């Protein structure tokens, strides 16, 4: 099962901090997973409509949307971090 975590405004908009789901058929990388999540519609479609505005980590390491994923990975989605 994939463990998906949502942080900051993503968590707020979805009303959940995370979820688990089986690796979707045909999902080989983060971009594929984003397409599956976006296809759910509603807030998922709105959040993932512009994936360039979201950062991702795979197994607690920063990654790109081209990063491969496997069945037992942890995928975290969060907004860009800004300093101050």
- CATH number, domain with residue 35: 3.10.20.30
- Domain tally for the chain? 1
Q: pTM value? A: 0.93
What's the sign of the alpha-carbon dihedral 30, 36, 41, 42? negative
* Domain assignment of residue 83, yes or no: no
* Domain assignment of residue 84, yes or no: no
Which domain does 37 fall in, by range?
Answer: 2-78
pLDDT band of 80, cuts 50, 70, 90: confident
With pLDDT > 90 as the criterion, what percentage of the chain qualifies?
A: 92
Residue 12 clears pLDDT 80, i.e. is over it: yes
* Domain assignment of residue 33, yes or no: yes
Q: Each residue of 32-42: pLDDT tens digit?
A: 999 999 999 99
pLDDT for position 83: 56
């Amino acid at each position: 099962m994939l463990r998906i975590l949502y942080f900051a405004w993503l968590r707020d908009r979805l009303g959940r901090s995370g979820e688990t789901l089986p690796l979707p058929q045909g999902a080989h990388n983060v971009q594929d997973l984003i397409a599956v999540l976006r296809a759910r519609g509603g807030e998922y479609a709105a959040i993932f409509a512009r994936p360039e505005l979201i950062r991702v980590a795979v197994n607690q390491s920063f990654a790109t949307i081209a990063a491969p994923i496997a069945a037992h990975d942890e995928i975290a989605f969060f907004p860009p971090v800004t300093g101050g």
